[in-house]
Chains A and B, each alone.
Chain A
Amino acid sequence: MTSDTRRDAIADAATALDAASLDAFVREHHGRLVCLARLVCLDSSEAGDAVQAALEQAWRRRDSLRDAHALRAWLDRIVVREAIRQDRQRRSPLARLFGSPREIPVATVDRRAAAPHLSMALRLAFEGLPAAQRVVVALHLHYGYSVAQTAELVGAPIETVRSRLRVGRQQLRLALEDERQ
């Protein structure tokens, strides 16, 4: 075996080890991150893209993480920011010009007739929130992050997160009250 061949074999073995580690890493976090992305993104394709991009980023930068206990929050932060970035891309003028239009609830639809179930009214209202509001509602109410932790995750000041949470709640409350009439 020449030295070059030996070097290639070692590299292949290292790559295989990396691949196995990567596979384990993805499997470990995939389920939870998909749920998180599903709460932020408006469709499953966007959610999948956000999770995949986040996992890839995390894998590439895994050496930068010093505290192993912070892994979960670190991953959540990457997924959340990636999901918001994708939402902004979707709303960009070019995306709106060439992308497939997403159905947006409009006033001409009688929501009481179109959405007889409470969850449908909430869904319409929740999806009507800007991504930045959706994510703080999801992180705070579903994942139980405090306002300060949520601010850290989304990279925004605490007051901004409080404001987003307040406005988001207002919108959802209106939708629910409307539905209950």
Chain B
Amino acid sequence: MKRFDDALLDATVRDFLRVRAADTDGIRGADAMSAEIAQRALGLRRTGERAWSGRLVWVALLASLLLMAIWAVLVGGRRPPVVPLSVGNGVIAYAAEGSPSDIYLVRPGAAPRQIVGEGAGEGAVYSPAAACPTFSPNGTTLALGAIAGSFILVSVDPEGEVVGTRRLQTPGAESPHCASWAPDSASLAFLDGSALIIVPLEGPARRIDDWETAVASDAATFLIDYPPDRAVQWSRDGSMIAIARPSGTWLVPVKGGEARRLHDSPARTLSWAPDGTRLVVWTPAGSLVIRATDGTLVATLPPGNQPVWSPTGSRIAYVGAEASVYVVGPDGSDPRMVAGYGYDITWSPDGKEIMYIHDGCEGPTCVIGDTTFHGYALMSQAIDTQGAASGDPVIVAPMVRIASERSYPPAQSFSWQPVYR
């Protein structure tokens, strides 16, 4: 990829601007402008015309006011209300409704700030579109899936301020991808079809095509593709990448070598235990806790889906009966319902809160506490040391874009900035 240093960039842009400035086709000539300005500035227009013009201005003004009032009533209420956060730590990036590209950053006590999308204005870090906001484990970088198979890497400081942007090209297909970060924050991985692609931030990318070996020809397929960011997860030491596939749960060595199938149940999503010894995998047979060494089944969780291991290791959150959010011990004991109607669960970096997409509202309007909003909301719920809900849920952001009812962006609605280091 050719890098554009400042001098080359400025020279290229100057050339472009020179050509553009000279392209004045279609703009009124000096004669026409002079005549029109003379009519208005020197009073050459007939009195009757001016009177009519004045009336037309008033009519247009009144009509505009009327239309603006109608617009405010019909559409104004759909704007995301400003919701101060009370979540414990970190900045949150999320994709919002609007154009496909809207990405926001929000931090405790502050209003959401748009960084991608048409309405981002001067705060825009990238245009025209991006998807799948995913923070690096060291908290410094937000990866956004972008066009042409690339990622936009946005450097974000602990206060949530954007301090830089760069593009990371990948050999993946054109559509935006969802990043899975290596634990050292130095590489990204994602699935491109069945190919695993590993992209270091510096250096050439690797594409591993034939890792999924010895797969039975009648391997299961899923009717719905689940968010790929939850299907590709690096091990804590960075040596392996666990992948959930219809053919089972796999471990792929990062530095080369044969992939190993840990478990043969069709797997939709997976999550590592923080100590790297176990995985919890969502399969049609239930959420299974398996050993990372040999795939031995350790526990089966109560019925549910999308299990996510907490950073402390003591709990697993999942979507259980009636789409409620539950927290359970890794051995399947002591399940507790902590929130109603939610999915896409993510733990806060300190393991004291969960965040999830709330879709429990019927009809166009949702009211939680004293906030009214439309569509889906990103919610936060504090969890105590016993795995029970502590206090009321908090709306982090209303009107978020969700993964399951769209083809684009493909997944990952939000990401929580880990503790900055």
List residues of chain A with CB under 8 Å of any chain B CB: 15, 18-19, 22-23, 26-27, 30-31, 34-39, 43-45, 47-48, 51-52, 55-56, 59-60, 93-94, 97, 104-112, 118-119, 122-126, 128-130, 132-133, 137-138, 141-142, 160, 163-164, 167, 169-174, 176-178, 180-181
Contacts and interface: CB of A to CB of B under 8 A. Distances in A.
B17 A142 contact: yes
Contacts of B129: 106-108
Nearest to A98: B67
A59 B17 contact: no
Given A56-B37, A108-B100, 11 more contacts: A15-B42, A19-B42, A23-B34, A37-B27, A112-B148, A130-B121, A137-B17, A142-B14, A171-B127, A178-B148, A178-B167
B128 A122 contact: no
A101 to B, nearest CB: 12
Contacts of A141: 10, 13-14, 17
Contacts of A172: 9, 13
Interface class of chain A by DSSP: helix
Contact of B21 (A35, A125, A160, A164): A35
B119 to A, nearest CB: 9
Contacts of B101: 106-107
20 contacts: A19-B44, A30-B29, A30-B33, A38-B21, A45-B26, A47-B27, A48-B28, A93-B68, A94-B71, A106-B101, A107-B130, A107-B176, A109-B147, A119-B16, A122-B13, A123-B16, A141-B13, A167-B124, A169-B10, A178-B148
A44 B25 contact: yes
Given A35-B24, A60-B41, A141-B10, A94 B68 contact: yes
Contacts of A56: 37, 40-41
Contacts of A39: 17, 20-21
A111 B147 CA distance: 8
B266 to A, nearest CB: 30
Contacts of A15: 42-44
B34 A27 contact: yes
B71 A30 contact: no
B46 interface: no
B3 interface: yes
B30 A177 contact: no
B421 interface: no
B125 interface: yes
B391 to A, nearest CB: 38
Given A22-B42, A170-B165, A104 B25 contact: no
